[in-house]
Amino acid sequence: MSDGCKEKLQGFSPRPLRLFSATSAVKSFPMRLLILGRGKTGTLVAEVAATRKHHLVIAGAKENASSAALTPERLRDIDTVIDFTAPHCVIDNIEACVAASKNMVVGTTGWHNHLDHIRSLVEQHGTGFLYASNFSIGVNLFFDVARSAAAALRHDYTGQIFERHHAQKKDAPSGTAIALQHLIREASGQPGDLEIISFREGEVVGLHEVVLESPADRIYLCHDAKSRRGFAEGAVRGAEWLAGKKGFYDFKDVWREL
């Protein structure tokens, strides 16, 4: 966000918004989860799942080389697999888990050009599958705000999307930025996509900004993740929501039910 916009927000105290309560949330019950990925987010997913009293098996790249951790025998006692790995291996992971009839939650991005193929596999095997470009509740609220703001493009506004992530992030633009781009195009009804400008630097967790500008004014929308915990909590709560369900789901369509 620009310095000018930050200055204008100083002293602004919005009324607290209650999103959900413990009584309305999905009830947690012990599940046996296989978490794929020992990176920063995968490690935090394991911490959140342990806090919520689930039983964990964790497999990093070494343990899952050539899908060694995803044989039918090793998956037999697993309820749900949560994947936070990398784009180059996620399709093989998905195919192995779906073939073994295991429900799956996928937070890895960079594979969504294979959505039709994966949807077909999930339907064929009768499993449950939940994916997201971002499992953060805050980001999904941000999506809703951006969807409403997209109407500006029908009133002589132009726009851009800016996103910043840590230097080690493999995909650019991010899955979240691409999701923003798609939903703004669909909501605005205008041809063409907003330009995405990506930055990779330091340890930035994830910052996404939509800028809409007209000759008269400028609109800034921004979501700045302070930690990865929001991603991890959303993924674990998503796995709890998916328990006992079959079908192919996008987190943006179900997060209000958590």
> Is 169 labeled as catalytic in the residue annotation?
yes
> Which amino acid belongs to residue 147?
R
- Interacting residues of 182 by C-beta distance below 8 A, sequence separation 6+: 193
Which residue of the set 102, 165, 208, 252 is catalytic?
165
State the DSSP H helix or E strand holding residue 163, giving kind and residue range, or none if neither: strand 158-165
- Output b/e per residue, 59-96; b: 16+ Cβ within 10 A: bbeeebeeeebbeeebbeebbbbbbbbbeebbeebbbb
* Beta bridge partners of residue 250, listed in sequence order: 131
Which residue of the set 166, 169, 182, 246 is catalytic?
169
> Is 208 labeled as catalytic in the residue annotation?
no
Q: How far is CA 16 from the centre of its chain?
A: 24
67: left (phi over 0), alpha (psi -120 to 50) or beta: left
DSSP class per residue in 66-125: GGGGGSHHHHTT-SEEEE---HHHHHHHHHHHHHTT-EEEE---S-GGGHHHHHHHHHHH
How many whole angstroms separate alpha carbon 221 and alpha carbon 211? Answer: 6
What does each C-alpha distance from 18 to 22, 28, 154, 162, 253 come to in angstroms?
A: 11, 20, 32, 28, 19
Active site residues: 165, 169
